[in-house]
Amino acid sequence: MDKEKKSIFNAPLNMDGSTRVTLLVVVGGYLIYMAYQMVRDTLSGVSSMGLTTTLILAGLMALAGIAVIGYGVCLWSFSRKKKDEQKSEETDEE
Amino acid sequence: MTKTKVMNWLQKNTMILILVLVVLFFTWQTQGKILLPQNITNLIAQNAYVFILATGMLLCILTGGNIDLSVGSVVCFAGAVGALLMAKGMNMWLAVLVMLAIGLLVGGLQAFCIAYIHVPPFITTLAGQLIFRGLSNVILNGRTQTVNVQMFKDVFGGGATCYVPDLLGGGEGMNLLCLVVGIIACVIYLALTARTRITRIKKGYAVDSLVSTIVRSVVIVAVLMFVTVKLSQYKGIPSALIWVALVVAVYAYITSKTTMGRYLYAVGGNEKATKLSGIDTRKVYFFAYTNMGFLAALAGILTIARMASAQPTYGDSYEMDAISSCFIGGASAYGGVGTVPGVIIGAVLMGVINLGMSVMGIDQNFQKVVKGAVLLAAVIFDVISKRNDTK
């Protein structure tokens, strides 16, 4: 049997697979929401952070959130692909 | 071999070690102010709602990655109803029962939609979030409703007198009852740890090394006694802590020692296999979400007691605090995604970071950056540890 190439997308999801994907998507969304809150607070004067600093940090946070969501979605689609492959293998064996 | 044992021990107790490091960091940065008795009391009182909501959220997550986005809105709604009823002269205990009943009803309705009508939990609870936030605005008419019942505030953790009175008559600056309770808690913990270990050895299960168990027990007892002494130097046991301890103890027991607890893990592990084993998975989902509604109402009671008022903005982002605690607490190898102690440690870590930054006077936006960085670190740690598991 060929050794599967190990990557961050091949990690077996096992018991907590759907848990991880959901949490990753939610955490990513929260990071994006916090980035929005930062910009809102600076513009409304609640925070004393400079606008440029806020935009840079919020931008980085939003990018991180998008990356986390993207990772979660890729993880889910990889696991679905694997499940479909396993199903078709089982069908072939029958 | 010794190096592997040390690495295994470090991996298992990563979150505790990180918590200790964070506390030491903020102790250094704030010149010890974060460890002042008043700040430790504030840490408990201000984060009581997170501990309770995170415990309930854990049960939902155990069913297979499902979350409840409505908890913040339910906190606000239940609190608003309770505040209005008490303002109209209703007996405090009756108002509390009404609030808990509202939580059960809301949780039950959502649970029914999820378990029996099969509406995805994300959609059901998102709808709940919008509905109950709107209803809170409607019944409060956009205004703040104050809570003036002193006994309510004392019992549920609000105001300057919300502490268990020192019935043992300790002197000024040392609450004797608090000390005694702390010592009893340590003794109970050690007894339970020893009993669990002995039982597991008798049944032939694998156990950690004796040294590892002793070290962990000593650290936990030291932390417990430190917190106890600090609390006793201020005003004693805050009432919010009693509610948190009760919830944590009950749900730690449910998740680890009861059939329903096992069913929660089973459904999350493999729902089809669980169904084929004859377990009604709908009842498991129903229990998880109804329970979440109940705990959200309890968190609402603690919130309005602490703030001595109900506002339409209360509960904002509470669900994210709970989910973050579950994620951070479960991102290490300490019990995985599904233990109450792991979730509590996650909540304490977030609470310590928030408190430390407030004491340091850090700008709110920087606090959000740090919070985001901690979450991101937990995600990266999770990714790396899962990747290592495949090797």
Beta-bridge partners for B310: B145
Q: For residue A1, give how far its alpha carbon lies from the nearest alpha carbon of chain B (Å).
A: 16
B328-360 per-position pLDDT tens digit: 776 433 333 567 778 888 888 888 888 888 888
Please give the residue of chain A at the shortest CA–CA distance from B320.
Answer: A30
Q: Which of B375, B301, B356 is nearest to B85 (CA)?
A: B301
Q: For residue A12, give how far its alpha carbon lies from the nearest alpha carbon of chain B (Å).
A: 7
Would the CB atoms of A47 and B386 count as touching at under 8 Å?
Answer: no
Domain ranges of chain B: 37-161+239-384, 163-237
Predicted pLDDT of residue B305: 92
Chain A residue numbers with beta carbons less than 8 Å from the beta carbon of B382 are 20
A50-61 per-position pLDDT tens digit: 888 889 999 999
For chain A, what is the domain count? 1
Q: With bands split at pLDDT 50, 70 and 90, how would you rate the model's confidence at B269?
A: confident
Q: Which CATH superfamily is domain B37-161+239-384 in?
A: ABC transporter involved in vitamin B12 uptake, BtuC (1.10.3470.10)
For residue A76, what are the domain limits? 18-86
Q: For residue B119, give how far its alpha carbon lies from the nearest alpha carbon of chain A (Å).
A: 16
Q: Choose the closest CB to B64 out of A18, A47, A54.
A: A18
pLDDT over 70 at B170, yes or no: no
Q: What are phi and psi of B163, to 5 degrees?
A: -130, 150
Q: With bands split at pLDDT 50, 70 and 90, how would you rate the model's confidence at B160?
A: low
Q: Choose the closest CB to B268 out of A15, A33, A64.
A: A15
pLDDT over 60 at B201, yes or no: yes
pLDDT over 50 at B228, yes or no: yes
Q: Note the maximum CA span of chain A.
A: 67
Q: Does A92 map to a domain?
A: no
Q: Which of B368, B381, B388 is most worth mutating to test chain A (most A CB atoms within 10 A of its CB)?
A: B368
Q: Does A60 map to a domain?
A: yes
Q: Does A49 map to a domain?
A: yes
**Cα-based distances in Å from B225 to B58, B180, B182, B207, B218:** 27, 10, 6, 26, 10
B100-116 per-position pLDDT tens digit: 999 999 999 999 999 99
B86-101 per-position pLDDT tens digit: 999 999 999 999 999 9
**Cα-based distances in Å from B189 to B129, B182, B194, B206, B333:** 38, 11, 9, 20, 22
Would the CB atoms of A38 and B66 count as touching at under 8 Å?
Answer: no
A16-47 per-position pLDDT tens digit: 456 677 778 888 888 999 899 899 988 888 88
Beta-bridge partners for B146: B309
The two three-digit tokens of residue B138, written as one number: 């409607």
**Chain A contact for B368 (CB, 8 A cutoff):** yes
Q: Which of B379, B381, B387, B391 is most worth mutating to test chain A (most A CB atoms within 10 A of its CB)?
A: B379
Would the CB atoms of B363 and A23 count as touching at under 8 Å?
Answer: no
Q: For residue A74, give how far its alpha carbon lies from the nearest alpha carbon of chain B (Å).
A: 13
pLDDT over 50 at A12, yes or no: no
Chain A residue numbers with beta carbons less than 8 Å from the beta carbon of B320 are 26, 30, 33
**ipTM strictly over 0.85?**
no
Would the CB atoms of A33 and B379 count as touching at under 8 Å?
Answer: no
Chain A residue numbers with beta carbons less than 8 Å from the beta carbon of B57 are none
Residues of B numbered 252-311 whose beta carbons fall under 8 angstroms of chain A's beta carbons: which are they?
A: 268-270
Handedness of CA B277, B282, B288, B290 (dihedral sign): negative
d(CA B329, CA B344): 7
